[in-house]
Structure 1
Amino acid sequence: MKTGNGKTGRPISFDKDAALEAAMLLFWERGFEGTCMTSLTQAMGLNPSSIYAAFGDKHALFQLAVKRYMGTRAQYATVALEEPTLEKVVRALFDNTVAFLTTPGHPPTCMTLAGAMGGSVEAAPARDLMTEIRRQNEVAMKERFLQARKSGELSKDVNVDDYTRYLSSILAGLSIQSANGSTKAELKRTAEMALRHLGC
């Protein structure tokens, strides 16, 4: 391949997919601000110049890692929203969330909650990205609940915005409890309690 000075450089010979997976898991575990370049080079098995050449700077790498997370790990909510009835949708949201949080091989929390914690100016773009994803997730939930309203499954007395925020808050709470060390059995009991209050 050609480099910027017109000379032929060495082509990328490492597994970009595996390297990005490693970066995603590290950002997921430590958040944007808690992940340094030294840790990334160790996890990805690459030197800094190779990372920059293949993925860009830390912000660009974080965005790619988040995109990978959303496309490969975070489909459990989307699948739940495709259930045919409101009751099945709500139950699947809880069941799928608990299953996701307790699946071995990744941190026991949601990356969109844990991935951008921190207060520095440097972390602001990462926080904004995570906030926007969470908002988009709530929009998708609201749209599904509006469908339930139209079909008569959700009472007109229920404020759809409030209903969406309520469910989103409980689901996020499960992620926090999982990160705190709650077991799968404990999360299931919490989910069942919420479902009983929701009438599902």
Structure 2
Amino acid sequence: MPSTGRPRSFDTDEALEVAMRLFWAEGYEGASLAALTEAMGINRRSIYAAFGNKEELFRKAVDRYVQGPGAFVEPALQLPTARQVAEAMLHGGVNAHTLPDCPRGCLLVQSALAAGPDSEPVRRDLAERREAGVAALRKRFEQAQTEGDLPPTADPDTLARYVNTVGQGLAVQASGGASREDMHRVADLALSIWPSV
């Protein structure tokens, strides 16, 4: 049955891009509905009709971020060695968190840091996404260990959490204005302790 409502007078893809950038710059709690409607150029009713409530809009914005600026993660996991994976994760993160004409830092990290108790569902979703990232790294490092690319004494879980923690720290530094060059040097230092076979 055809829809009887008025056709949308805005581009949902463009509106989602604007919302993603606002959440990225301000975090989940910092991006009020009033700020979102103003930035997106649409009213609340249109936001609810197109995207659902603020929480659902945020989740869609995070998905867009992961497929856009955060898209370095999947190719990194496919690299042939564990060290190359870690290198691509850290240096790819630095590049993604310092893109020209974009907010600095990581949308997921920014939002997790600023989410208070009233945003528990968002905090939980971000924590689940973070743990899924750690699990993907752990699985890749377990594979590397099985293939003889990591020594038997290396702990894939600890390595995954190490890469994730350093990456999040770099994202926080990026949002605070640290230079790309400085953060690449920090990433190199973090990689200098990588276990060798």
Specify if TM > 0.5: yes
Identity %: 38
Preserved CA contact (<8 Å) 2:134 2:161: yes
Runs of 4+ that moved beyond 4 A: none
Residue 149 of structure 1: SS of its match in structure 2?
helix
- Say whether 1:38 aligns with 2:49: no
- Say whether 1:118 aligns with 2:96: no
* Structure 2 residue corresponding to 1:49, chosen from 33, 42, 45: 45
The superposition leaves residues 31-56 of structure 1 with CA deviations (integer Å, 9 ceiling, x where unpaired) of: 11111111001110101111111111
- Give the distance between the partners of 1:31 and 1:39, measured in 2 at CA: 12
* Structure 2 residue corresponding to 1:174, chosen from 170, 176, 181: 170
**Residue type of the partner of 2:67?**
G
- Say whether 1:79 aligns with 2:68: no
Residue 7 of structure 2: SS of its match in structure 1?
coil
* Structure 2 residue corresponding to 1:138, chosen from 134, 140, 151: 134
Q: Give the total of aligned pairs.
A: 194
CA RMSD of aligned residues (A): 1.5
- Say whether 1:67 aligns with 2:51: no
- Say whether 1:89 aligns with 2:80: no
Preserved CA contact (<8 Å) 2:89 2:163: no
Preserved CA contact (<8 Å) 1:29 1:115: no
- Give the distance between the partners of 1:92 and 1:37, measured in 2 at CA: 36
- Give the distance between the partners of 2:28 and 2:97, measured in 1 at CA: 20
Which sections of structure 2, spanning at least 5 residues, go unmatched? none
Which sections of structure 1, spanning at least 5 residues, go unmatched? 3-7
Aligned to 1:198: 194
The range that moved more, 85-94 or 21-30, is 85-94
TM-score, normalised relative to structure 1: 0.91
Report the CA distance between 1:199 and its aligned residue.
5.6
Aligned to 1:101: 97
- Give the distance between the partners of 1:30 and 1:96, measured in 2 at CA: 22
Preserved CA contact (<8 Å) 2:17 2:61: yes
